[in-house]
Structure 1
Amino acid sequence: MNNVIVYSKNNCMQCKMTKRFLKEHNVNFEERNINQDPKYLDTLKQQGFKSVPIVMQDNNAPIVGFRPDSLKELVG
């Protein structure tokens, strides 16, 4: 399990639930908060994303929103 990145923002319930799910399943991740560092927002907009959370891992398709079914695949 490597290179998991979670894009999030402040006061986002789906972001909190996604991060909690990953922590409970011992998945290490790097959080990139778009409120704390707006360059991440620009990066996401350039890629066509319009909401968070977004979970990215290596070459896997991004997971948008709180999706326990898809997150379970990361836990593997």
Structure 2
Amino acid sequence: MKTITVYTSPSCGQCMMTHKELGKRGIEYVTVGLSEDWAAGPMLREKYGYTQAPVVVVDDGRHWTGFRPDKIAGLVG
């Protein structure tokens, strides 16, 4: 089973939509709040070049930022 981590920030519309889509598809994931984990933001910028939330990281090497229902659909199966 894949480990999926979603990095989010408060009041982020795309974050909320990402959570909703993952839940709708029954995909389990871990949430990391960028306002609680201060080291996560710099790590995402350095490792992936992302500066906006949400960031979805899959342990198989896939990652993306923003609400991407097409990418979420690719996690099923």
Same fold (TM over 0.5): yes
Q: Return structure 1 stretches of 4+ with deviation > 2 angstroms.
A: none
Q: Deviations over 1:46-74 (max 9, x none)?
A: 12211111111112321211010111001
What runs of 5+ residues in structure 2 fail to find an aligned partner?
none
Partner of 2:38: 38
Q: Verify the 8 A CA contact 2:2 2:60 in the aligned structure 1.
A: no
Q: Which amino acid aligns with 2:23?
A: K
In 2, the alpha carbon distance for the partners of 1:4 and 1:30 equals 6
Give the count of matched residue pairs: 76
Partner of 1:9: 9
In 2, the alpha carbon distance for the partners of 1:49 and 1:39 equals 14
Deviation at 1:3, TM superposition (A): 0.7
Q: Deviations over 1:9-52 (max 9, x none)?
A: 00100000001100111111000110111111121121221111
In 1, the alpha carbon distance for the partners of 2:62 and 2:18 equals 16
Q: Which amino acid aligns with 1:50?
A: T
TM-score by length of 1: 0.90
Partner of 2:18: 18
Q: Which amino acid aligns with 1:64?
A: T
TM-score by length of 2: 0.89
Identity of aligned residues (%): 30
